Amino acid sequence: MLRSPCRRLLGASVGPAAALAAALLSSLAGCSLLEPLDSVASVLSPYFGTKTRYEDVNPGLLSGPGAPWRDPELLEGACTPVQLVALIRHGTRYPTAKQIRKLRKLHELLQARRPRDDRAGIAGGRDLGAVLADWPLWYADWMDGQLVEKGRQDMRQLALRLASLFPTLFSRENFGCLQLISSSKHRCVDSSTAFLQGLWQHYHPGLPPPDVEDMECEPPRINDKLMRFFDHCAKFLHEVERNATALYHVEAFKTGPEMQKILKKVAATLQVPVTDLNADLIQVAFFTCSFDLAIKGIKSPWCDVFDIDDAKALEYLNDLKQYWKRGYGYTINSRSSCTLFQNIFQHLDKAVEQTQRSQPVSSPVILQFGHAETLLPLLSLMGYFKDKDPLTAYNYKEQMHRKFRSGHIVPYASNLIFVLYHCENAKTPKEKFRVQLLLNEKVLPLAHSQKTVSLYEDLKNYYKDILQSCHTSEECELAKVNSTSDEL
């Protein structure tokens, strides 16, 4: 197989199996301040939406977060991977400053409350409101969505697992050819850095990684037009982001019977006036349970405020927001991601062309670090996780078994991977190049066939409209006369 003319790594050669084993041990040795291997599991974990831990989507990682696992549907044998393009969400992060301010407001409300013996505020023989009033509020405004150490660990371990899954692509000689793109947000840049450190551990077990600037590969390049395309789409900003009515169903659900039931229950449990609470404060309390679990690996008393029925309704509230702002709610949500989708296929096209010419693939691995807001529109554009009926404020019970569950699609460190294969013994030229998609390291059936592998040309034909007719400048252009948004 042809190799790319990349800068060679320094240092003694280490066998792949030995390198992986040593790197995994090195990675896990740094976990003492993070989650223990018998990680705390909350019964609420499946319902945290976009605040879900990656290991809750891949439960096998709870026993060994660096343990390599190979999906049996992955191609092998006569087909050799020649390029991998990965879109990766940042790792576990702190709450945003806005979320922290809401939590502080709720905490102050609890500290100022006046418990009454005749109210049902005792849970398991304790006054839960008093417990939470005394529970340390360790979140500070400076944290503001930054990557936490657990998030760096997410990235280092993902790097180790991908390197073990695709050893020829992540070979030492290819390290100098890595192409990394990142959103300008610190949590994404820091995620890309941690991923490189994980690869360094793979190549140099036992050695501390140098600064990214001193590594053989190029440092990550900032490209918000790709990774934060939504910020550069005038139509999306006008019709969705800055439109007070675009999230009507989210606001309607907040005042609907499901949330009002939770509101009254939480007020009684915490012994605070129900008029002092609202859906936003309830939601931030629920997310605090998720943040404490994801960041510190602890089940805090905030989790005891809710039961599974509460969690399901709160998950739906979060999914409504993602659906109407990032998913199928409005066509512009997904069409604004056309440039990113086309960019992925430009990389794949180039790899096909270079392989056909018996040239080494110049960029065997392309890694793009973004957000849940990057991945969800792209997956919607591709036709994944679309329910028969739209998610609304009024069909919660009917959507209990919905496909669109953001926490199962884009948890922290979620990843969508395109793998291009060259099949040497193919009968026809068309059959020589094939593609597989992986979502969170599991093979994702193709939308057009439900098969686990597609001929590259067939995949391009299926997405022909997006690849040839979706022009961001036109899609995102504001209409000269205001018109009603295309609600689905």
What string of DSSP letters covers 216-255?
A: SSPPPEE-HHHHTGGGG-HHHIIIIIT-TTTTHHHHHHHT
**One-letter identity of residue 41:** A
DSSP, collapsed to helix, strand or coil, labels residue 292 as helix
pLDDT of 116 reads: 55
How many residues belong to the chain? Answer: 488
The domains of the chain, with CATH numbers, are 49-92+148-242+330-476 (3.40.50.1240), 97-112+127-144+245-320 (no CATH)
pLDDT category, 42, cuts 50, 70, 90? confident
**Per-residue pLDDT at 77 exceeds 90:** no
Q: Which of 91, 155, 82, 87 lies closest to 340 in space, CA to CA?
A: 87
Name the more confident of 28 and 46. Answer: 46
Q: Which helix (H) or strand (E) holds 111?
A: helix 97-111
Q: Phi/psi of residue 205, each to 5°? A: -60, 135
DSSP, collapsed to helix, strand or coil, labels residue 18 as helix
pLDDT of 488 reads: 52
Share of the chain above pLDDT 70, in %: 86
E strands, 281-389, where? 365-370
User: CA-to-CA distance for 336 and 327, rounded, in angstroms?
Assistant: 11
- Average pLDDT over all residues of the chain: 88
182-220: buried (b, 16+ CB within 10 Å) or exposed (e) per residue?
Answer: bbebebbbbbbbbbbbbbbbbbbbeeebeebeebbbebb
**Residue 443 near residue 71, CB atoms below 8 Å:** yes
Q: What is the mean pLDDT of residues 349-365?
A: 96
Per-residue pLDDT tens over the stretch 224-250: 999 999 999 999 999 999 999 999 999
pLDDT of 480 reads: 76
User: CA-to-CA distance for 441 and 72, rounded, in angstroms?
Assistant: 11
pLDDT of 207 reads: 86
Report, as residue numbers or ranges, the catalytic residues: 90
Q: What is the mean pLDDT of residues 36-43?
A: 54
pLDDT of 6 reads: 61
**Per-residue pLDDT at 70 exceeds 80:** yes
pLDDT of 311 reads: 97
The pTM score is 0.89
pLDDT category, 211, cuts 50, 70, 90? confident
pLDDT of 66 reads: 64
User: CA-to-CA distance for 332 and 370, rounded, in angstroms?
Assistant: 19
**Residue 355 near residue 263, CB atoms below 8 Å:** no
**One-letter identity of residue 471:** H
Minimum mean pLDDT range among 126-130, 408-412, 428-432, 446-450: 126-130
pLDDT of 60 reads: 79
Q: What is the dihedral of CA 200, 16, 172, 153, to 10 degrees?
A: -20
CA distance readout (Å), 402 to 57, 236, 240, 319, 487: 16, 25, 23, 10, 19
What string of DSSP letters covers 330-348?
A: BHHHHHTTHHHHHHHHHHH
pLDDT of 20 reads: 41
**Residue 355 near residue 422, CB atoms below 8 Å:** yes
pLDDT category, 62, cuts 50, 70, 90? confident
Non-local (6+) Cβ contacts of 300 within 8 A are 135, 288, 289, 292, 293
Cα first-last separation, the chain? 48
**Per-residue pLDDT at 392 exceeds 60:** yes
Minimum mean pLDDT range among 61-75, 214-228, 370-384, 439-453: 61-75
Minimum mean pLDDT range among 19-33, 98-112, 113-127, 364-378: 19-33
User: CA-to-CA distance for 139 and 235, rounded, in angstroms?
Assistant: 36
**Per-residue pLDDT at 27 exceeds 60:** no
**Per-residue pLDDT at 64 exceeds 90:** no
Per-residue pLDDT tens over the stretch 325-342: 999 999 999 999 999 999
Name the more confident of 195 and 70. Answer: 195
DSSP, collapsed to helix, strand or coil, labels residue 150 as helix
**Per-residue pLDDT at 463 exceeds 80:** yes
pLDDT of 78 reads: 85
CA distance readout (Å), 194 to 36, 88, 220: 20, 12, 11
Per-residue pLDDT tens over the stretch 125-163: 579 999 999 999 999 999 999 999 999 999 999 999 999
User: CA-to-CA distance for 101 and 169, rounded, in angstroms?
Assistant: 45
pLDDT of 149 reads: 97
Name the more confident of 447 and 27. Answer: 447
